[in-house]
Structure 1
Amino acid sequence: MANAASGMAVNDECKLKFLELKAKRNYRFIVFKIENQEVVLEKLGGPEETYEDFSASLPADECRYAVFDFDFTTDENCQKSKIFFIAWSPDISKVRHKMVYASTKDRFKRELDGIQVELQATDPSEMSFDIVKSRAL
């Protein structure tokens, strides 16, 4: 169903793959893009892939949405996991693309039930591994 404000639909596969990431943990990350007025799946990262693999899969000059399943160990030595929603909007991407992604983000995020941390980044340094780790704790 398209959002009245942005006219954007969300492909069902986006929600299905997110549920698999959340429940079965068959993916480490998922990258989404907007194509023909619809949010669609662009890349699935397998459970063996790293945060570096994820970062490398985001284009340097185009906006994307992504979710990343971040595993970490607490100070009490407990294994935990948090699902991050990352709104990637590089400074050098086209203004129109940035506006479309910004206006669609909240609605798309609501479709993905189970997001625990949101991060917005315009530059790789804003979503470095250290920042992600500090936001997870």
Structure 2
Amino acid sequence: MANAASGMAVHDDCKLKFLELKTKRAFRFIVFKIEEKQIIVEKLGEPAESYEDFCTHLPADECRYAVYDFDFLTKESVPKSRIFFIAWCPDTSKVRSKMIYASSKDRFKRELDGIQIELQATDPTEMGLDVFKSRAN
């Protein structure tokens, strides 16, 4: 189904892979990109991959969407996890790309049932591990 705001369709694989991340913890992260008027899965991160591995898959000058399964310990040392949705939109990306990603984001996010926290980032410091930790609690 196309996104009314931007005309963007969401490939079925996006929802299927997100469901596997959410229910089976099959992936640490998923990077999505817009290609030929639809949102597709670009990269699946294995469960053992780190936050640093995840960051290497976000291009320095192109927009992307991503979900990241963040594990952490509460103040009581209880292990928990939160699923973050990241709208990656670097300042150096093209204006048209920024507009397309911005207009498609909310609808796409609604397709991924189970997102707990949203981050918008234009550079790596806006989505550092410290930001994840402070938003997760």
The corresponding residue for 1:108 is 108
Percent identity over the alignment is 74
Counterpart in the other structure of 1:92 = 92
Residues 58-111 of structure 1, C-alpha deviations (whole Å, 9 max, x = no match):
000000000000000001111100000000000000000000000000000000
Q: Secondary structure at the match of 1:135?
A: helix
* Distance across 1 between alignment mates of 2:83 and 2:65: 13
Report Cα offsets for 1:31-58 as digits up to 9, x if no partner: 0000000000000000000011001110
Shift of 1:3: 1.5
- 2:114 is paired with a residue of what secondary structure? coil
TM-score (norm: length of structure 2):
0.99
Aligned to 2:128: 128
Are 2:26 and 1:26 aligned? Answer: yes
Instruction: Spell out, residue by residue over 1:12-41, the C-alpha distance to the aligned partner (whole angstroms, 9 max, x if none).
Output: 000000000000001000000000000000
Alignment of 1:43-54 (within 5 A): 43-54=43-54
Aligned residues: 137
Computed over aligned residues only, the root mean square deviation of the Cα atoms, in angstroms, reads 0.4
* 1:83 lines up with 2:92 in the alignment: no
Aligned pair 1:67/2:67, yes or no? yes
d(CA) in 2 for partners of 1:36, 1:89: 18
The alignment's TM-score, normalised by the length of structure 1, stands at 0.99
- Deviation beyond 3 Å, 4+ runs, structure 1: none
**Aligned residue type for 1:66:** A
Structure 1 Cα separation of the partners of residues 126 and 4 of structure 2: 31
Question: SS of 1:80's equivalent?
Answer: strand
SS at match of 1:91: coil
Unaligned runs of 5+ in 1: none
Give the whole-Å Cα distance in 2 for the aligned partners of 1:60 and 1:3: 26
Structure 2 residues not aligned, in runs of 5+? none
Which secondary structure does the structure 1 equivalent of 2:42 belong to? strand
